[in-house]
Amino acid sequence: MKKYDLKNRSEIADRDKWNLEAMYPDEAKWEEDLSTALKSSEEFILLKGRLTESAEGLLKALRLYADMMRKAENAFVYSRMRHDEDNANTKYTEMNNKSLSTLAQISANVSFFTPELLEADETVIKGYIYEVPALKEFSFMLDSIMLSKPHVLSSDEERIIAQLNESASAPDEIYTMFNDADLSFGKVTNEDAIDVELTHGNYIQFMESENREVRKNAFEAMYQRYKEFNNSISVMYNYSVKHDYIMSKLRKYKSTLDSELSGERIPLSVYDNLIDAVHKNLPSMHKYMEIRKRALGLNELRMYDVYRPIVKPEGLECSYEEAVDIACKALAPLGEDYVRTLRKGLTEDRWVDIYENAGKTSGAYSFGSYDSNPYILMNFSGELRDVFTLIHEAGHSMHSYYTRRTQPFVYGGHSIFTAEVASTVNETLLIHYLLSNAESVDMKKYLINFYIDEFKSTLFRQTMFAEFEKIAHETVENGGSLTAQYLNEEYDKLNTIYYGPSIEHDEFIQYEWSRIPHFYRAYYVYQYATGYSAANAIANRILTGGEAERNDYLKFLATGESDYPIELLKIAGVDMSTEEPVLSALSTFAKLVDELDEMI
Q: Write out pLDDT tens, residues 444-453.
A: 999 999 999 9
Beta bridge partners, 367, equal 375
Reported as a pLDDT band with limits 50, 70 and 90, residue 1 is very low
| C-alpha–C-alpha distance, residues 277 and 292, integer Å | 23
Q: What is the pLDDT of residues 578-590, one digit of tens each?
A: 889 999 999 999 9
| C-alpha–C-alpha distance, residues 248 and 474, integer Å | 12
Active site residue 393: yes
Is 570 buried (19+), middle (13-18) or exposed (0-12) by CB count in 10 A?
Answer: middle
Determine the pLDDT at residue 29. Answer: 97
What's the distance, CA 79 to chain centroid? 19
Beta bridge partners, 189, equal 195
| C-alpha–C-alpha distance, residues 538 and 394, integer Å | 17
| C-alpha–C-alpha distance, residues 307 and 456, integer Å | 10
pTM of the model: 0.81
Q: Given a cut of 70, is residue 56 above it in pLDDT?
A: yes
Q: For the beta carbon of residue 136, count every other beta carbon within 10 angstroms.
A: 10
Averaged over 490-517, what is the pLDDT?
Answer: 96
Task: Please answer whether residues 281 and 582 qualify as being in contact, where contact means their C-beta atoms are separated by less than 8 angstroms.
Answer: no
Q: What b/e string do you get for 295-315 counting C-beta neighbours within 10 Å, with b at 16 or more?
A: beeeeebbbbbbbbbbbebee
Determine the pLDDT at residue 336. Answer: 97
Residue 353 has what DSSP assignment?
E
Q: What is the pLDDT of residues 252-302, one digit of tens each?
A: 999 999 999 988 889 999 999 999 999 999 999 999 999 999 999 999 999
Reported as a pLDDT band with limits 50, 70 and 90, residue 161 is confident
Determine the pLDDT at residue 5. Answer: 59
Task: Specify the DSSP element, H or E, that contains 195.
Answer: strand 195-197
Percentages helix, strand, coil for the chain, rounded to the nearest 5?
A: 70, 5, 25
Query: Which has the closest alpha carbon to 47: 57, 35, 59?
Result: 57
Q: What is the pLDDT of residues 300-350, one digit of tens each?
A: 999 999 999 998 888 788 999 999 999 999 999 999 999 999 999 999 999
Determine the pLDDT at residue 2. Answer: 45
More confident site: 362 or 476: 476
Reduced 3-state DSSP string for 502-530: CECCCHHHHHHHHHCHHHHCCCCCHHHHH
Q: Given a cut of 80, is residue 419 above it in pLDDT?
A: yes
> Left, alpha or beta for 364 (phi > 0: left; psi -120 to 50: alpha)?
beta
Task: Please answer whether residues 591 and 455 qualify as being in contact, where contact means their C-beta atoms are separated by less than 8 angstroms.
Answer: no
Q: What does residue 375 show for φ and ψ, rounded to 5 degrees?
A: -70, 160
Q: What does residue 347 show for φ and ψ, rounded to 5 degrees?
A: -120, -90
Residue 586 has what DSSP assignment?
H
> Left, alpha or beta for 15 (phi > 0: left; psi -120 to 50: alpha)?
alpha
| C-alpha–C-alpha distance, residues 536 and 559, integer Å | 20
Q: Which of 73, 356, 393, 469 is catalytic?
A: 393
Q: What does residue 503 show for φ and ψ, rounded to 5 degrees?
A: -95, 125
Is 318 buried (19+), middle (13-18) or exposed (0-12) by CB count in 10 A?
Answer: middle
CATH numbers and ranges of domains, the chain: 9-168 (1.20.140.70), 184-228 (1.10.287.830), 320-442+527-557 (no CATH)
Given the DSSP bridges, would you call strands 375-377 and 352-353 parallel, antiparallel or unpaired? Answer: parallel
The length of the chain is 600
| C-alpha–C-alpha distance, residues 305 and 293, integer Å | 9
Q: What is the pLDDT of residues 214-228, one digit of tens each?
A: 999 999 999 999 999
State the amino acid at position 379 in one-letter form: N
Query: Which has the closest alpha carbon to 464: 512, 397, 417?
Result: 512
| C-alpha–C-alpha distance, residues 355 and 12, integer Å | 8
Determine the pLDDT at residue 164. Answer: 80
| C-alpha–C-alpha distance, residues 17 and 9, integer Å | 9
Report the number of secondary-structure helices (H) and strands (E) in the chain: 25, 5
Reported as a pLDDT band with limits 50, 70 and 90, residue 499 is very high
Reported as a pLDDT band with limits 50, 70 and 90, residue 363 is confident
| C-alpha–C-alpha distance, residues 323 and 314, integer Å | 16
State the amino acid at position 35 in one-letter form: S
